[in-house]
């Protein structure tokens, strides 16, 4: 028994050590290559100075040849490491895999272009300031001068710097959503799988566990995905699901993927929202009480915003926002799919969540609202609505008079 435990401990330690060595190897290769490239940059500057002054450049060319060979060797090792990392990235979904491939391909093209130009230069033996400037231009694509800090808790958010300027709201005329009278014609695009909202096994299994039901899907995303503050699509549906966190756009991608997998046409909606009913909701959502700090928070998150001024003070904020519209059977049981009757386009937003709640005492609708009167009103006139539709519109009108 002790021997079995000892063997298990040895295996676990070896796996842990292997992971540490692999990660350290990645950093070691990158650091080594960065070092060679840094030395090359110094040599290129020296060559420029010597060409301008007419001084000999033999020593610099010798060093450049030596560094070129070292960079080639490191480059081959890096490309092999990229290949291994691509296998790891594939486990995190198509979005992560796509980004890894784009990054590695950009690196490969830039470095191989640099090495090719350098090789031609060294073979020809004729070096001009124009050629050196060309080398430096390519060089800047490879060697970054400064790494930006990570913005986000525990590195869960994409890599962002905090030096964003204030981004103004998009002033282009908005496209009217279908649920507000816009284009209601369903096209294949409303049901297809995309890179941001893929319909794959992971998504389908979750949709199936929720009975392919749009109400349950909406509630699951609303209640299980934490809202983060950043701008634009950065994770996609798969990574948002894996991390259980994402911004408005990435939550919209997850919601769309689940709805489309369940057979419900769905679209992204982009527009400008205000916090309802006032700035207190913005304070509640962000956890920040000072309006100036809220503005700074949106700026650093890269979110286009605009303060609303009333009475000489900030009374609210307008934000660019992404949400979803989907077509579901709505006449009976409001999206709980009992039948296919009365399909309607609905706007859905899962990202607006609160950090605290206030409770009030709900009205007793059956005591204050006479259902028998509604029945008589419905039967005494020719109606274009279903009974449930008529009841819904009547209750909504009554609640509107109570400001509820």
* 292 CA to centre of own chain: 26
- Measure the CA–CA gap between 265 and 380, rounded to whole angstroms: 37
* 189 CA to centre of own chain: 20
What is the structure's pLDDT at 18? Answer: 41
- Measure the CA–CA gap between 57 and 128, rounded to whole angstroms: 12
Where are the chain's structural domains? 12-145, 178-359, 360-404
Res 288 pLDDT > 80: yes
Percent of the chain with pLDDT over 70: 78
Mean pLDDT calculated for residue range 301-323? 92
Token pair for 361: 């005492």
Please state whether beta strands 305-310 and 343-348 pair in parallel, antiparallel, or not at all (unpaired): unpaired
Res 249 pLDDT > 60: yes
CATH of domain 178-359: 3.10.620
Spatial contact of 146 and 95, defined as CB atoms under 8 Å apart: no
Q: Each residue of 66-116: pLDDT tens digit?
A: 888 888 888 888 888 888 888 777 777 777 778 778 888 887 887 787 788
What is the structure's pLDDT at 400? Answer: 73
- Helix (H) or strand (E) segment spanning residue 75: helix 58-90
- Measure the CA–CA gap between 233 and 197, rounded to whole angstroms: 11
Q: Each residue of 24-50: pLDDT tens digit?
A: 455 677 778 778 877 887 888 888 888
- Measure the CA–CA gap between 135 and 141, rounded to whole angstroms: 10
Phi then psi for 23, rounded to 5 degrees? -65, -40
Mean pLDDT calculated for residue range 176-194? 94
Res 321 pLDDT > 50: yes
The model's pTM = 0.54
Please state whether beta strands 245-246 and 343-348 pair in parallel, antiparallel, or not at all (unpaired): unpaired
């Amino acid at each position: 028994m002790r021997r079995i435990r000892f063997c298990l401990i040895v295996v676990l330690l070896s796996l842990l050590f292997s992971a540490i060595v692999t990660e350290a190897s990645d950093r070691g290769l990158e650091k080594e290559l960065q070092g060679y490239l840094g030395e090359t940059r110094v040599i290129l500057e020296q060559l420029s100075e010597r060409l301008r002054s007419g001084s000999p450049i033999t020593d610099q060319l010798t060093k450049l040849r030596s560094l070129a060979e070292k960079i080639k060797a490191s480059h081959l090792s890096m490309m092999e490491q990229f290949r291994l990392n691509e296998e790891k990235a594939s486990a995190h979904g198509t979005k992560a895999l796509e980004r890894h491939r784009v990054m590695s391909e950009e690196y490969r093209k830039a470095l191989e272009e640099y090495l090719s130009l350098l090789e031609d230069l060294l073979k020809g033996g004729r070096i001009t300031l124009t050629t050196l400037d060309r080398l430096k231009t390519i060089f800047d694509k490879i060697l970054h001068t400064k790494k930006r800090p990570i913005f986000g808790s525990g590195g869960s958010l994409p890599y962002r710097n905090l030096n964003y300027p204030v981004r103004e709201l998009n002033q282009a005329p908005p496209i009217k959503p279908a649920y507000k009278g816009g284009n209601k014609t369903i096209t294949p695009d409303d049901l297809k799988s995309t890179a941001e909202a893929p319909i794959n096994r992971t998504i389908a299994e979750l949709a199936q566990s929720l009975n392919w039901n749009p109400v349950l899907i909406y509630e699951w995303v609303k209640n299980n995905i934490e809202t983060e503050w950043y701008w634009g699509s950065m994770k996609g549906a798969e990574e948002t699901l894996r991390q259980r966190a994402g911004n408005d756009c990435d939550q919209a991608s997850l919601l769309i993927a689940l709805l489309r997998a369940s057979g419900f046409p769905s679209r992204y909606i982009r527009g400008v929202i205000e916090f309802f009913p006032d700035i207190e909701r913005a304070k509640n959502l962000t956890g920040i009480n000072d309006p100036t700090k809220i503005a700074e928070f949106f700026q650093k998150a890269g979110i286009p915003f605009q303060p609303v001024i009333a009475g000489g003070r900030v009374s609210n904020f307008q934000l660019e926002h992404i949400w979803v519209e989907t077509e579901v059977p709505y006449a009976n049981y409001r999206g709980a799919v009992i039948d296919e009757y009365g399909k309607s386009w609905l706007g859905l937003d899962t990202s607006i969540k609160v950090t605290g709640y206030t409770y009030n005492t709900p009205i007793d609708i059956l005591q204050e609202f006479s259902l028998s009167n509604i029945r008589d009103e419905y039967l005494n006139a020719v109606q274009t609505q279903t009974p449930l539709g008529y009841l819904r519109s009547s209750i909504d009108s009554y609640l509107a008079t109570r400001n509820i």
